[in-house]
Structure 1
Amino acid sequence: MKKISLYLLLSLAVLTSCKDKLAPVSPDAIQPVVVTEQTVFDTDDPAIWINKKDQTKSLVIGTDKENGGGLYAYDLQGKIVRQFVDMARPNNVDIAYDFPYGEGVIDVAVVTERNANAIRIFKLPELVPIDGGGLKVFEGEATEEYNEPMGIALYEKEEGDTKVFYAIVGRKNGPAQDYLWQYTYQTHADGKVALQLVRKFGAYSGKKEIEAIAVDRELGYVYYSDEVEGVRKYYADPVKGNQELAFFAQTDAKRDHEGIAIYKKDATTGYLVVSNQQDNSILIYPREGEANNPHEHRLITTIPVAAIECDGLEITARGLDPRFPQGMLVMMSNGKVFHYYDWTKIQEKIDQAKKK
């Protein structure tokens, strides 16, 4: 009995200690329309798959970050409708449409599997793997943490009559330069999907890690969070070079700059949204930059949200159903869940900030 009592006391002490470390949620925080069902371990990063035939049947694809975790598909009500589990610590996920495979094209989710030193590719919406068990990344790196993939963002560009599919991958640790590796992924004649390394690029402060990556496909830029330092911007197209175009948000976050996503008002304007993790808020920047400098991204406003210590987030500007008429923001939150937010509420806050 004494052993059991002592165990209970220690457990309560640990829970209390963890609770004390959590940042408080602001009373002015925007509340989610939907909170998803829980996963087993620890949600981390979402992506949004748009169902082209019926947008109301679109899915949120999210990772459960732990050995034994996996990839989950949620409907717009937050219910888990599919899952692929027993993975070696899946981390981040992104989605591409119309990927050539077999005799046609499919939509895919591409996921980093950190403890397998690989990325995984799944056919959507079925969550069926098509990668033969995983495709290795960061091969040849001598240091263990240098080959542990974490962040990922996908990019496509037209080359003549074909489309080239790229995966830009970040990792747990790496050198001060060439932290990100960019690969093409394609289906070969034998039906197998393979990677080819095309470039290494990207500066790193060395202070924490680089996990969150987002690509603006229309404008051709890639953004990533150098977590405690700020957000860096480069060209997404390898042929345009490896020069850093911007390094912003350096003094805007409480500590960690985490998830990055892009709200697209049209082909060239909108907002860059960054998770301010320890503040339980999001940072809003102009996607198009300033009138005289497209690479100058000044903070528009900080908006408190109910999501607690958000790692990853994603946005669509499409009105998926009447609850999300101007689009939806999805955010990871503590509690093994994701939150769905109505963009209308966020836009109201942005408009108020612009009037001040």
Structure 2
Amino acid sequence: MTFRLLMLASAALALTACETDNVWVDDGIAATPVPAAFETDPMTGRGDRADDPALWVHPADASKSLILGTNKDEGLHVYDLSGQEVQFLDVGRVNNVDVRQDLAAASNDEFNAISLFTIDADSLAVTHEGDFPTGKEEPYGICMGLVGGAMYIIPTYKDGSIQVWVADNAGFSLQREVQVGQYGQLQLEGCVVDDEAGTIFIGEEEHGIWKLDLADSESAPEIVDTIAAANGLVADVEGLSLWAGPDGAGYLVASAQAADRYVVYDRAVPHAPRGVFSIAASTDGSVDAVSHTDGLDASSAALPGFPRGVLIVQDDANPVTEVDQNFKVVDWAAIEAALDLAE
């Protein structure tokens, strides 16, 4: 082999290595910028700490709603709707968090467990109720569901599997384990349950988005979208959430992390892609733009100043990468306008 061919071979190997490390090359897909509305207090310090938010909506007074945010080095932060931190729970390395009614669950990879929290509507206090072991190393992502009256907690794993835990008189029991990841490095993280449809959507970081019917114990994963389909997804496919409208309407939102953008799909089958957006600085410049989002949460609940709901996203750089990370909040009405989404 000539020296030139050796150099070309080395370059090809280097490119392959870069692709494995998720170095993104511009694919020409335009992302419409949407301004941030406000942000939470930072997790002061250096390192990749902030990961996943979840919105708890107060059952009687939306102004008292809370944002829960994981610190994957330390525990769970709690913020009010001004973005001010009101509580911190030192419960170990929790990676993802989700909420149903007055219960929150977080994946705790320090103890290979699911951490449970209750939220008191009167005091607005979040209480750590304890942890239960998953019997499997390093629960990574997590999502909750309330399907047919049953409470579900579903952690995801780096080996491409999910566990389906269902509440019973003893607490939570493992109903089934499903191998979802099929391609690439198999790793799963982001997931979200459509309670009304009884379906879970799961992100395979190097491949795309899957869904699974929770009502059918024999169901197999079905593909929703792939990176290769070029609808806007790139590796890593990270946070997933639903903006749930009435009668099954609404949208699935996915973080395409390496491209600093988000892909929106119809909630309803066949989950058609509806557009791609990025999050820019606030219109007054007081909140910086968002990059490299990991976890996110969407809500259609009417909140003060946000009658169409919000999208909450993790921001890697605030504004410097891995320094004082926090969560940004976007008015869902601004996303609707940017992508011409009509309900």
Alignment-derived partner of residue 188 in structure 2: 210
Task: Give the counterpart of 1:255 among 218, 235, 253.
Answer: 235
Alignment-derived partner of residue 129 in structure 1: 128
Alignment-derived partner of residue 60 in structure 2: 53
- Relative contact order (alpha carbons < 8 A, sep ≥ 6): 1 or 2 greater? 2
Task: Give the counterpart of 2:311 among 329, 333, 337.
Answer: 329
- Measure, in 1, the Cα distance between the counterparts of 2:50 and 2:339: 28
TM-score (norm 1): 0.76
Conserved in 2, the CA contact under 8 Å of 1:23 and 1:280? no
In percent, how many aligned pairs have the same letter? Answer: 26
Task: Give the counterpart of 1:271 among 251, 271, 275.
Answer: 251
CA deviation profile, 1:126-153 (whole Å, cap 9, x unmatched): 221112xx2101x2x5xxxxx1001111
- Measure, in 1, the Cα distance between the counterparts of 2:24 and 2:41: 21
- Measure, in 1, the Cα distance between the counterparts of 2:186 and 2:164: 21
Conserved in 1, the CA contact under 8 Å of 2:237 and 2:254? yes
Structure-to-structure mapping, 1:79-158, within 5 angstroms: 79-85=84-90, 87-97=91-101, 107-124=102-119, 125-131=124-130, 134-137=131-134, 139=135, 147-158=137-148
TM-score (norm 2): 0.79
Q: CA deviation at 1:344?
A: 0.8
Runs of 4+ that moved beyond 6 A: 21-24
How well do the aligned residues superpose, as a CA RMSD in angstroms? 2.2
Which residue identity is paired with 2:276? T
Conserved in 2, the CA contact under 8 Å of 1:94 and 1:153? yes
Alignment-derived partner of residue 8 in structure 2: none
CA deviation profile, 1:76-105 (whole Å, cap 9, x unmatched): 1100011102x33110001111xxxxxxxx
Gaps of 5+ in 1: 1-20, 98-106, 142-146, 189-193, 289-293
Which residue identity is paired with 1:126? A
Structure-to-structure mapping, 1:1-356, within 5 angstroms: 29-40=33-44, 42-66=49-73, 69-85=74-90, 87-97=91-101, 107-124=102-119, 125-131=124-130, 134-137=131-134, 139=135, 147-158=137-148, 163-171=149-157, 173-174=158-159, 179-186=161-168, 188=170, 194-204=171-181, 205-207=183-185, 209-237=187-215, 239-251=216-228, 252-288=232-268, 294=269, 296-305=270-279, 306-322=289-305, 324-334=306-316, 335=318, 336-351=325-340
Q: CA deviation at 1:34?
A: 0.7
- Per mean C-alpha deviation after superposition, the further-off stretch among 296-305 and 71-80 is 296-305
Conserved in 1, the CA contact under 8 Å of 2:31 and 2:277? no
- Measure, in 2, the Cα distance between the counterparts of 1:321 and 1:221: 30
- Measure, in 1, the Cα distance between the counterparts of 2:155 and 2:62: 29
Gaps of 5+ in 2: 1-22, 280-288, 319-324
Conserved in 1, the CA contact under 8 Å of 2:311 and 2:329? yes
Q: CA deviation at 1:72?
A: 1.0
Aligned residues: 290
Rate the CA distance shift 1:84–1:247 in 2: closer, same or farther, 3 A: same
